Structure 1
């Protein structure tokens, strides 16, 4: 089943193009943690001790939220694509009309795509960092949920529609478009 059949707004984006676009974007995004982690290590080394939950909130506010907002801004309106998608010739469009999506829908899409799994992953990592020898049942369940989300998001790219759960939630589709 080809993944490039014609649909509204362009041809379906092949899974490998979407994965390549994601890798390009994450190479850019990784600059932010590379800047923030040394600051956190320095603060911790200087004696700053905060509750794990507060570290998680800080990481969300300084890392996850800005990345999610940046991706939503890039995928909405005139841009229609993150730099990685642009490099691979992909754009995000309304699933029905093929037109650009607004910021609200792009934010919903990226919250499900980025913020939710990343925050859950942080919660799991912080949980294991503090309870490594005796993780709770809820931490184990949350870990399973994180893996299910990751595999569902990735596996959906290989379905004939190539629409992921976050595309369905946002009413979007990623298609081959212009490389303006």
Structure 2
């Protein structure tokens, strides 16, 4: 079945449109790390030494959580799309009814899509940064999990339904919609 066949709420969004939308969004989102990383480097250079877990928590609170909340806010209610999705003519809808989703479901979707893999990725990066040449088995397993999640999220876009695991979890679909 083609990825653009008609479903409730519109036509399925082709994988390449969703990937292009993601790239547009991430160009915007990268502004936040560009602002925050120099602050962290300056604090570290000034002698602030925190445990790795605390650095990870701080990055979650000031980077990952705000991005996840922003994407959920944009995909819920009247917006139905992040700026990247809007630019590609895509919207997020309830998988059954084709109607807009509420903030709670959009947050669940974006927690699975953004917060979980990003936080796991940070945990892996901090782990390798601190263990250097002798990573633990648990760090290696976590690294494999991160890659499995990334490839599962990306690969699902090319399945006939184009519904990713985070779409299934949130009960959503990304469809071609209006470019208001």
Q: TM-score normalized by structure 2?
A: 1.00
Secondary structure of the structure 2 residue equivalent to 1:107: helix
Shift of 1:2: 1.4
Q: Count the aligned residue pairs.
A: 180
Question: What is the distance in 2 between the residues matched to 1:134 and 1:178?
Answer: 52
Shift of 1:64: 0.1
**What are the Cα deviations for residues 97-125 of structure 1, in whole angstroms up to 9, with x where unaligned?**
00000000000000000000000000000
> Which consecutive aligned stretches of 4+ in structure 1 deviate over 2 angstroms post-superposition?
none
Shift of 1:20: 0.1
Question: What is the distance in 1 between the residues matched to 2:73 and 2:56?
Answer: 24
**What are the Cα deviations for residues 144-164 of structure 1, in whole angstroms up to 9, with x where unaligned?**
000000000000000000000
Question: What is the distance in 1 between the residues matched to 2:160 and 2:100?
Answer: 22
Q: Which residue of 1 aligns with 2:127?
A: 127
How big is the alpha-carbon RMSD for the aligned residues of Structure 1 and Structure 2? Answer: 0.3
Question: What is the distance in 1 between the residues matched to 2:164 and 2:101?
Answer: 16
**What are the Cα deviations for residues 19-54 of structure 1, in whole angstroms up to 9, with x where unaligned?**
000000000000000000000000000000000000
Question: What is the distance in 1 between the residues matched to 2:168 and 2:141?
Answer: 25
Question: What is the distance in 1 between the residues matched to 2:132 and 2:90?
Answer: 42
Q: Structure 1 unaligned runs (5+)?
A: none
Question: What is the distance in 1 between the residues matched to 2:128 and 2:165?
Answer: 28
Q: TM-score normalized by structure 1?
A: 1.00
Question: What is the distance in 2 between the residues matched to 1:69 and 1:56?
Answer: 18
Question: What is the distance in 1 between the residues matched to 2:118 and 2:152?
Answer: 15
Question: What is the distance in 2 between the residues matched to 1:179 and 1:57?
Answer: 37
Question: What is the distance in 1 between the residues matched to 2:75 and 2:54?
Answer: 30
Secondary structure of the structure 1 residue equivalent to 2:143: helix
Q: Structure 2 unaligned runs (5+)?
A: none
Secondary structure of the structure 2 residue equivalent to 1:92: strand
Shift of 1:174: 0.1
